[in-house]
């Protein structure tokens, strides 16, 4: 009997992360988060590499950080315009471009030497023989690809655990990569192969809510209410008075209220992420959820936020379900009153 496996090649492409564990040395980033309530002078060892150091100011702009070097070590003052907390790159590589608003794209794909039509999902249909290899070329317009974080699964399991092997040839600027997957011997069956590729930019888009659409809702986010009734009344929009510039306001006015502001996020299955940011809250409501597959695959909730009159940091650790395919991050409220979010960050746990 002939072997007739059917193969489906799914390509998930994601904008991703500032910190990239396991990347090749050429594209390694070390981001430092520093919080300070009072003037602060930071001293570090003279052995640390410092090159084009930058920090994020309270307006969400990357700026040069002034650093003093001496025989005793390296020192710098906490920037005044970072307002309490900042992310710094002491060693900002020349290749890193911030901000980055595009996601990686597939340029070419082939299977066993036969070219495939390029698409996010490629259905190979019924094949006479299991192919021995898959070849995909991907590129990012703005930043290097995170080659060390390319993930390949076959029916939800790691391709390398199943005996496959992965080779990645990255261009000198890092923005193009050939991904060559040599497949293990596969018995006759139906297979889904998923290749996840990320770049070196932050994962959430418009996470500081500075870009606002005509309807008042922050760009890249969609707002609405679940379980809405005739009595439901609410307002969701970007408002002035944020921790930086504008902030997201979710204002519950009349119940029932299950208010959501969501953004699709392209995560790597099984990887653990940290959502962090700042909030203000008129009551004890407001939280975040990570949902995959219409709640069926993953529905994780951050613990509810406490009342807070001033901008207050929060963070939440959550693992993307190994069997997940598409995720949406939701900022939510169920209370009557206002909850505000600003300066969010979503990044793989280091
Ligand atoms: Ca990009
Ligand atoms: Ca802001």
Cα 56 to middle of ligand 1, angstroms: 19
From the CA of 145, the nearest ligand is 1
Share of the chain above pLDDT 90, in %: 39
From the CA of 174, the nearest ligand is 1
Same domain, 243 and 324: yes
The confidence score (pLDDT) of residue 48 equals: 77
**Dihedral, 111, 113, 115, 120 alpha carbons, nearest 10:** 30
The CATH number of the domain holding residue 181 is: 2.60.40
Same domain, 18 and 142: yes
- 207-241 b/e (C-beta count within 10 Å ≥ 16 → b): bbbbebeeeebbeebebebeeeeeebebebbbbee
Domain termination residue (choose one: 89, 120, 140): 89
Domain count for the chain, please give it.
3
Number of residues written out for the chain = 350
Q: Residue 206: exposed, middle, or buried by beta-carbon count in 10 A (0-12, 13-18, 19+)?
A: buried
Provide the pLDDT confidence category of residue 21 given band limits of 50, 70 and 90: very low
The boundaries of the domain holding residue 40 are 30-89
Structure tokens at 285: 């409501």
The confidence score (pLDDT) of residue 29 equals: 61
Does a structural domain hold residue 206? no
Does a structural domain hold residue 326? yes
Cα 175 to middle of ligand 1, angstroms: 9
Same domain, 160 and 137: yes
- For the chain, how are helix, strand and coil distributed in percent, rounded to 5? 5, 50, 50
Domain termination residue (choose one: 156, 182, 198): 198
For 273-299, the DSSP string reads: EEEEEEEEESSS--EEEEEETTTTSEE
Same domain, 107 and 47: no
For residues 134 and 181, what is the distance between their CA atoms, to the nearest angstrom? 5
Does a structural domain hold residue 227? yes
Does a structural domain hold residue 336? yes
From the CA of 239, the nearest ligand is 2
State pLDDT tens for residues 249-271: 999 999 999 999 999 887 878 88
Cα 199 to middle of ligand 1, angstroms: 6
Cα 313 to middle of ligand 2, angstroms: 14
Cα 332 to middle of ligand 2, angstroms: 17
Cα 101 to middle of ligand 1, angstroms: 6
Same domain, 122 and 11: yes
Same domain, 153 and 16: yes
From the CA of 15, the nearest ligand is 1
From the CA of 343, the nearest ligand is 2
Cα 239 to middle of ligand 2, angstroms: 9
From the CA of 210, the nearest ligand is 2
Q: Is the pLDDT of residue 219 over 70?
A: yes
Cα 194 to middle of ligand 2, angstroms: 35
State pLDDT tens for residues 91-117: 777 777 876 767 788 999 998 888 998
From the CA of 342, the nearest ligand is 2
Average pLDDT, the chain: 83
Cα 266 to middle of ligand 1, angstroms: 12
User: Radius of gyration of the chain from Cα atoms?
Assistant: 23
For 207-255, the DSSP string reads: TT---B-TTSSBTT-EEEESS--TT-EEEEEEEE--SSSEEEEEEEEES
Does a structural domain hold residue 318? yes
From the CA of 138, the nearest ligand is 1
Does a structural domain hold residue 217? no
Cα 246 to middle of ligand 2, angstroms: 4
Strands 121-126 and 165-170: unpaired
Cα 213 to middle of ligand 2, angstroms: 14
Does a structural domain hold residue 77? yes
Neighbours of ion ligand 2 (CB under 5 A): 208-209, 242, 244-246, 342
Residues contacting 114, CB < 8 A, separation 6+: none
Between residues 30 and 237, the one the model is more confident about? 237
From the CA of 205, the nearest ligand is 1
Cα 311 to middle of ligand 2, angstroms: 11
The confidence score (pLDDT) of residue 124 equals: 82
Provide the pLDDT confidence category of residue 335 given band limits of 50, 70 and 90: very high
Structure tokens at 172: 């000198």
From the CA of 241, the nearest ligand is 2
Cα 70 to middle of ligand 2, angstroms: 36
- 119-145 b/e (C-beta count within 10 Å ≥ 16 → b): eeebebeeeeebbeebbbbbbbebbbb
Same domain, 10 and 121: yes
Same domain, 107 and 132: yes
Strands 190-198 and 6-14: parallel
Neighbours of ion ligand 1 (CB under 5 A): 100, 102, 140, 142, 199
From the CA of 103, the nearest ligand is 1
- 153-168 b/e (C-beta count within 10 Å ≥ 16 → b): bbeeeebeeeebebeb
Same domain, 70 and 173: no
Provide the pLDDT confidence category of residue 62 given band limits of 50, 70 and 90: confident
Does a structural domain hold residue 229? yes
Same domain, 156 and 238: no
Find the angle CA(143)-CA(136)-CA(293) to the nearest 5 degrees. 80
Provide the pLDDT confidence category of residue 319 given band limits of 50, 70 and 90: very high
Q: Is the pLDDT of residue 14 over 60?
A: no
């Amino acid at each position: 009997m002939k072997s007739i496996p059917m193969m489906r090649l799914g390509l998930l492409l994601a904008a991703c992360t500032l910190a990239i564990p396991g990347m090749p040395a050429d594209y390694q980033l070390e981001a430092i988060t520093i919080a300070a309530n009072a003037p602060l002078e930071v001293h570090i060892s003279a052995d640390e590499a410092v090159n084009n150091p930058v920090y994020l100011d309270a307006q969400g702009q990357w700026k040069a950080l002034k650093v003093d070097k001496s025989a005793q070590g390296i020192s710098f003052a906490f920037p005044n315009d970072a307002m309490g907390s900042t992310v710094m790159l002491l060693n900002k590589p020349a290749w890193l471009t911030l901000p980055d608003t595009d996601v990686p794209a597939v340029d070419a794909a082939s299977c066993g030497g036969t070219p495939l039509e390029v698409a996010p999902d490629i259905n190979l249909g019924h094949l006479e023989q299991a192919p021995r290899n898959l070849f995909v070329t991907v590129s990012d317009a703005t930043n290097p690809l995170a080659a060390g974080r390319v993930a390949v699964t076959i029916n939800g399991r790691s391709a390398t655990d199943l005996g496959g092997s992965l080779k990645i040839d990255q261009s000198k600027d890092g923005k193009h990569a050939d991904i060559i997957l040599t497949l293990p011997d596969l018995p006759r069956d139906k297979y889904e192969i998923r290749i996840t590729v990320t770049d070196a930019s932050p994962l959430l888009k418009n996470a500081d809510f500075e870009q606002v659409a005509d309807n008042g809702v922050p760009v890249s986010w969609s707002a609405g209410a679940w379980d809405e009734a005739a009595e439901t009344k609410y307002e969701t929009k970007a408002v002035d008075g944020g921790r930086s510039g504008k902030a997201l306001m979710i204002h519950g006015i009349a119940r029932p209220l299950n208010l959501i502001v969501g953004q699709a996020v392209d995560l790597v299955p099984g990887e653990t992420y940290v959502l962090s940011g700042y909030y203000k809250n008129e009551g004890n409501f407001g939280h975040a959820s990570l949902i995959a597959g219409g709640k069926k695959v993953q529905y994780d909730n951050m613990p509810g936020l406490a009342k807070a009159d001033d901008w207050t940091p929060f963070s939440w650790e959550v693992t993307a379900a190994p069997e997940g395919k598409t995720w949406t991050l939701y900022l939510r409220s169920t209370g009557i009153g206002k909850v505000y979010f600003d300066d969010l960050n979503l990044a793989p746990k280091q």
